């Protein structure tokens, strides 16, 4: 059985103090050890140190929203994997649709970052997903298949250490959500592509999150699908009650 994983992507929200307060509220609301779902919070870089302190003694894990594939050096504005490690980061979101569409990240760049994260012992949450135009042009399968293949190429046995997040770009921050059947269909496709990259047993071990406007109202139904192993949560992760309600949807 795959352990479900719910990760809160705070995006460019929350000062360090606000983030620490949110973590305290999540811990209080969730309790400790009451739910078998793995929980991750992903603050902005500036909030990671405060988050580490706020998470002390908790089972909640810490993630970052991005990282550089480069070794330390002359890369102004970038964050290295070693910097994340020293702050206690265990997960890192890579290839989020906003990074791809707003900042021009390619599958090749995501692949390099994924390999760097794995080499350092971090768990990458690798995002894939189609735009509204691509869905309406019936290109979902082609786009998602290409992104999975190219973003996760050449990982060998490390592939089983990756978390994949399917985020239909048309459903992020729009209030629109893929139906549970639509989401399951693409998750099943991703698992077939993962099997082609490795083998069936490896593909069955890899967790695939849904990342398109998951809410307390639909979390349980979505996570009850056979190939949906959790959620990558945006707006609903910024409030303790809604985030914890989603987590409980996977219990």
Q: What is the pLDDT of residues 94-147, one digit of tens each?
A: 999 999 999 999 999 999 999 999 999 999 999 999 988 898 899 999 999 999
Active site residue 187: no
What percent of the chain clears pLDDT 70, i.e. is strictly above it?
Answer: 98
Q: Report the CATH fold assignment for 11-249.
A: TIM Barrel (3.20.20)
pLDDT band at 173 (very low <50, low <70, confident <90, very high): low
pLDDT tens for 71-82 read 999 999 999 999
**Under 8 Å between Cβ of 49 and 17:** no
Instruction: Determine which one of 38, 105, 134, 167 is catalytic.
Output: 167
- Indicate yes or no: pTM above 0.85: yes
The domain ranges of the chain are: 11-249
Q: At what angle do helices 107-119 and 140-151 cross, to 10 degrees?
A: 40
Q: In the prediction, which pLDDT does 240 show?
A: 98
Q: Which residues of 42-61 are buried (b: 16+ CB within 10 A; e: fewer)?
A: bbbeebbbbbbebbeebebb
Instruction: Determine which one of 96, 98, 130, 187 is catalytic.
Output: 96
């Amino acid at each position: 059985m795959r352990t479900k994983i719910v990760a809160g992507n705070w995006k460019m929200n929350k000062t360090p103090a606000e983030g620490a307060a949110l973590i305290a509220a999540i811990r209080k609301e969730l309790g400790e050890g009451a739910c078998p779902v793995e929980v991750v919070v992903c603050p902005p870089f500036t909030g990671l140190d405060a988050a580490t302190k706020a998470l002390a003694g908790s089972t909640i894990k810490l993630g970052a929203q991005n990282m550089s594939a480069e070794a330390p050096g002359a890369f102004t504005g970038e964050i290295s994997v070693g910097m994340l490690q020293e702050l206690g980061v265990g997960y890192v979101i890579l290839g989020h649709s906003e990074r791809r569409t707003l900042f021009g990240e390619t599958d090749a760049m995501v692949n390099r970052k994924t390999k760097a994260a794995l080499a350092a012992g971090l768990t990458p949450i690798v995002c894939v997903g189609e735009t509204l135009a691509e869905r309406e042009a019936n290109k979902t399968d082609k786009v998602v298949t290409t992104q999975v293949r190219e973003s996760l190429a050449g990982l060998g046995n490390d592939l089983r250490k990756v978390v994949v997040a399917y985020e239909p770009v048309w459903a992020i921050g729009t209030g629109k959500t893929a139906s549970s059947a639509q989401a399951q269909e693409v998750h099943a496709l991703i698992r077939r592509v993962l099997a082609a990259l490795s083998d069936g047993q490896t593909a069955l071990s890899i967790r695939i999150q849904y990342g398109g406007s998951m809410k307390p109202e639909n979390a349980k139904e979505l996570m009850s699908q056979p190939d949906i192993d959790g959620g990558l949560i945006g707006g609903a992760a910024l409030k303790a009650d809604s985030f914890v309600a989603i987590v409980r949807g996977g219990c």
